[in-house]
A and B are shown apart, each in its own frame.
Chain A
Amino acid sequence: MEEVRVLLRNVDRINPVSAVDYMNEGGYEGLKKSLWMSELDIIHEITESTLRGRGGAGFPTGIKLSHAHNARSKNKFVLCNADEGEPGTNKDRILLSKDPNSIFEGMAIAARAIGADKGYIYLRAEYPYIVPILEQALENAREAGCLGDNIFGSEFSFDIEIRPGGGAYVCGEESAMIESMEGKRGEPRFRPPYPTVQGLFQEPTAVFNVETLANIGPIMYRGADWYKTMGTKKSHGTKLYTISGNVRNKGVYEYEVGVNLKDLIYEAGGGIPDGRKLLAVQTGGTAGAIINKHQINMPMDPAYVADSGGSMGAGDVLVIDNTNDIVDILDNVLSFFVHESCGKCTPCREGSMRLYQLASGIIDGTTTSEGMENIRELCETMRLASLCGLGQSVPIPVLSCLDNFREIFDEYIVRNEKNKKIAAGGAK
């Protein structure tokens, strides 16, 4: 398994704030090329590359661009989602702090493709130290003619501003992010209308994850055909994987899309230390599926992972060893959602807490098979009726956990029911 360096090519190799350094490594060539292309040709190239969003939902980037392009308005926006709220994830932080020009370039190309002249980077509240780096890099890029009025002497003008994040996990959800940028409470909006039609200040807005944007420059520079030489049949390019939890080498790694999860854990991650054994892996962040040790021989291909009931999310791999109890893991996941639910819609606001209470009851002894049935029903309701991706995906870790560790949960439930019977008998 070989690491590739497409997105991380400049990391620790150039001065991150220097546009000149970036250009010496072939940077801004993709933007220059797109300046002479038609909007539709740019979108075509990106669509051809099959690039999908790296922020979690995996939406095809070319289609998003084309929706924003088709929306009619003089004011359009390109937003960079740098909220990176997933605990344990820091791939976007690395790109932001070590190669910001690659993000600016992606934003400028996207702006050129949809007809926007203004972009914002919505930066996670916990990353204030990156602000001066970004500010300096922006200043230098403007000076070098890569941003601002008449970029590289062309007709095209585009500039970028930084906006501080609202601090909540849900502010990474694109419409909540837009609300937060408008100075409101960070709550998701219902859809339709989609942000590409009515986004920031009700204007057409295309929102992209940091990593997605970093792909765009190389695709435009080297072409979709080159891009498609990497990856699997269905999904192409490279991906940043954040490996965390009980592994020797925690960190961010770049591999081709489709790398095997097992290899990620044991080769890149260096396996589990201190002679412990693997219990479970959660891929795709807190809202991702929890799988058992027999399921890890699996390609990290969004299409494949989706078939297995999970999602690749932003490429997170959380390794959990056998000193943990799976019931505690479930408890932790749910307490995260109880804390992060924004409270706007009923199923998630109320449902997260009730799920948490029922899950805690598995350990406390109050949850019986009726309670387990209740959990499943509640999961269905949250998935089908919640307003945003947060509430809709809470069932993913919960149900995968119950299914993939069925015996363990069954044991608890048998115990709980037995104790309940004894208690009832004692009362007589």
Chain B
Amino acid sequence: MVQIVIDGQETEVEVGTTILEAAKKVGVKIPTLCHHPDQAVKANCRICVVEIEGQKLLQPSCSFPVWEGMVVRTNTPKVQRVRSNVLELILAHHAQECLFCSRNGNCELQEVTQDMHFTREVRYTNETRHGKDESSPSVVRDTNKCILCGRCSYVCDKIQSVGALCKEGRGFSTKLSSAYGKDLADSTCTNCGQCIQACPVGALTIHDDTEHVYEAMEAGKHVIAQVAPAVRITIAEALGENPGTVNKGRLVTAMKRVGFDKVFDTDFSADLTIMEEGHELLNRLQNGGTLPMVTSCCPAWIKFCETSFPEELPHLSTCKSPQQMFGALLKTWYPERSGVYPKDIYSVSIMPCTAKKFECVRPEMNSSGYQDVDKVITVQELANMICAAGINFADLPETEFDSPFGLGTGAGEIFGATGGVMEAALRTVYEVVTGEELEDVDFNAVRGFEGIKEASVDLKGIEVKVAIAHGLGNARKLMNAVKAGEADYHFIEVMACPGGCIGGGGNPIKNWKKMEKRLEGVYAEDKKLPIRKSHENPYIQKIYNDFLGEPLGEQSHKLLHTTYIDRSDIFKS
């Protein structure tokens, strides 16, 4: 421990603590921009500089460690003048479009400008960087708003190991660009949206597709929606409630009021995924198929695998993601039951995920003869629609999901968290293989935020070894082991987003602290449900009886399974 003095307040902190952390402890808020609580220190924006007694220069508080007897001043006129000049330089090179910026009211640059009470005129001519890249179906890059903090490239590079974003040029003309100056859509970008989550300003945002949904509503289409498990965890947060506030009933009510004709629960097709994937695993185990089998419900992971591990594609389960399984049913089975023609249906997925926007336009996703899912709307976009419709989310009555796809199990519910798919699969596979009832359905070993989790499950004599990775960097580690033949797992779950879908790029802006709360919400919800195993879902049993036949059967194969392509040529040229 060391004794230090910050703005006259004496305090004691651990050796190695930064001035920023120490200041926070004594209640002093120092402005930051490039700093992110979940990332390594960058110290490049220089807005957090402070005065240290005995030092000629100001020092960035985010990177500077305290020492015994250090005397720090964070708010002298000199410090404030320098900070305000630094801020002025940033603002002079920034598109000042707050009024119609999607981060308006939720922007760190706005917040810093406000906190510092910067109200004077900027002395320099306003210049902007290098325009917009709207090529990607998931992520919009507006370099005119970029403040070059490096938070996006940190995530993309260090956490996701994708490296699709990098700095280009020098000095004043430095810009953040996608690798080799390609359009993002033509790059190795996996559409995971983690960069959006990291960006402090409106330079990286979700590709907004709400306009198309309104158009479909206005054109009198039968507009139906499926809602992913993670959405009920984060929608209330997106509308200003505390992280971890779970709500389905108000969500359905709000969506009905926004104008959706039907609102279904993707939990249902998560259960369906478990039936198909569980049987696929058993089939591979029993018939010498390619092992380990790796989950395929995350489209960012799929693109990553297609790009970086094309030789390992046979490891991927052939199951579509729950959203695409549902999508196929919504334009095949649902028309049969409802009498609405598939061509009149406009199918929308409400997702925590930006990569699903890419997935739904993949040419493979046309099993119904139409594009199975017409549009994917993220939690953030749905929250905007609810707001724009003048709905006070806090005060809404509750409504049930529409049937026949109404009911999901706890197994589907936990799909939103890392380890959830694995746990759901184990609950089903155990009972199918052993023919016995699982007494304790909680597989705690596969839960939590550790980067790579391992477990082994005894299925009455057959030992099944599993591993779970979340974040593509962790997935890369696992896949390298698989590639090298060093991984003796049978089943691997991969989610591209750190924490799983509750950490997806389409959610409200997150950090690990909020993620803890969201995770608690997931498992609390699972516990509440009467049925917690997919194969016990009566509606699942019914759809197999009425329509699909059996898991891995012919109809399932046509509607619920897919193929992959080698995209490694993205690296060429």
Contacts and interface: CB of A to CB of B under 8 A. Distances in A.
Interface of A: 168, 185, 190, 192, 338-347, 349-354, 357, 374, 377-378, 380-381, 383-387, 392
A384 B90 contact: no
A387 B46 contact: yes
B44 interface: yes
Nearest first, the 7 A-B pairs at minimum CB distance are A343-B174, A350-B89, A341-B171, A353-B172, A190-B43, A381-B85, A384-B58
A70 to B, nearest CB: 16
Given A190-B43, A343-B148, A345-B44, A384 B57 contact: yes
Contact of A340 (B46, B47, B171): B171
A220 to B, nearest CB: 33
A369 B58 CA distance: 27
A384 B77 CA distance: 13
A353 B171 contact: yes
A345 B170 CA distance: 11
Interface in B151-177: 166-167, 169-174
A339 B47 contact: no
A349 B85 contact: no
Contacts of A353: 171-172
B149 to A, nearest CB: 9
B63 interface: yes
A289 B462 CA distance: 78
Contacts of B43: 190, 345, 387
A189 to B, nearest CB: 9
B221 interface: no
13 contacts: A343-B169, A344-B44, A345-B46, A350-B93, A351-B89, A353-B172, A354-B92, A378-B85, A384-B58, A384-B82, A385-B57, A385-B58, A385-B82
Contacts of B124: 354, 357
B72 to A, nearest CB: 15
Contacts of B57: 383-385, 392
A342 B49 CA distance: 20
B108 to A, nearest CB: 14
A392 B56 CA distance: 11
Given A352-B172, A381-B85, A383-B57, A374 B123 contact: yes
B85 A343 contact: no
A346 B47 contact: yes
Given A354-B92, A381-B82, A343 B171 contact: yes
Contacts of B448: none
Contact of A339 (B93, B125, B171): B171
A343 B89 CA distance: 13
Nearest to B167: A185
B148 A349 contact: yes
B81 interface: yes
Nearest to B60: A190
Contacts of B47: 346
B64 interface: yes
Contacts of A357: 124-125
B78 to A, nearest CB: 8
B49 A384 contact: yes
B2 interface: no
Contacts of A383: 57
Nearest to B127: A353
A335 to B, nearest CB: 11
B45 interface: yes
A339 B171 CA distance: 6
Contacts of A392: 57
Given A185-B167, A190-B43, A190-B63, A343 B172 contact: yes
A83 to B, nearest CB: 16
Given A349-B172, A350-B89, A352-B171, A192 B64 contact: yes
Contacts, number: 97
A354 B64 contact: no
A168 B82 CA distance: 28
A98 to B, nearest CB: 33
A73 to B, nearest CB: 18
Contacts of A386: 46
B41 interface: yes
A385 B49 contact: yes
A283 B226 CA distance: 71
B86 interface: yes
Contacts of A340: 170-171
B65 interface: yes
Interface string B127-147: 000000000000000000001
A402 B148 CA distance: 32
- Please indicate which of the listed interface residues B124, B148, B172 has the most CB atoms of chain A within 10 Å of its own CB: B172
Nearest to A392: B57
Nearest to A353: B172
Nearest to B63: A190
- Please indicate which of the listed interface residues A357, A377, A384, A387 has the most CB atoms of chain B within 10 Å of its own CB: A384
A345 B171 contact: no
A350 B82 contact: no
B61 to A, nearest CB: 11
Contacts of B174: 342-343, 349
A364 to B, nearest CB: 13
Given A339-B171, A351-B89, 20 more contacts: A168-B170, A185-B166, A190-B41, A192-B64, A192-B65, A340-B170, A342-B174, A343-B172, A346-B86, A346-B89, A347-B46, A347-B86, A347-B89, A350-B172, A378-B85, A381-B81, A381-B85, A384-B58, A386-B46, A392-B57
Contact of A385 (B46, B167, B170): B46
Contacts of A387: 43-44, 46, 60
Interface string B90-106: 10110000000000000
A176 B474 CA distance: 29
A350 B94 CA distance: 11
B47 to A, nearest CB: 7
A350 B42 CA distance: 17
Contacts of B65: 192
Contacts of B64: 192
Nearest to A377: B85
Interface in B344-372: none
Contacts of B42: 190
Contacts of A350: 89-90, 92-93, 172
A349 B81 CA distance: 18
B436 to A, nearest CB: 52
Contacts of A338: 171-172
B79 to A, nearest CB: 9
Contacts of A380: 81-82, 85
Contacts of A351: 89
B82 to A, nearest CB: 5
- Please indicate which of the listed interface residues B63, B89, B147, B170 has the most CB atoms of chain A within 10 Å of its own CB: B170
Nearest to B90: A346
Interface string B19-63: 000000000000000000000011111110100000001101001
A345 B45 contact: yes
B86 A342 contact: no
B424 to A, nearest CB: 41
Nearest to B84: A381
A378 B58 CA distance: 14
Given A349-B174, A350-B90, A385-B58, A343 B167 contact: yes
Nearest to B42: A190
A374 B124 CA distance: 10
A341 B167 CA distance: 14
Nearest to B56: A384
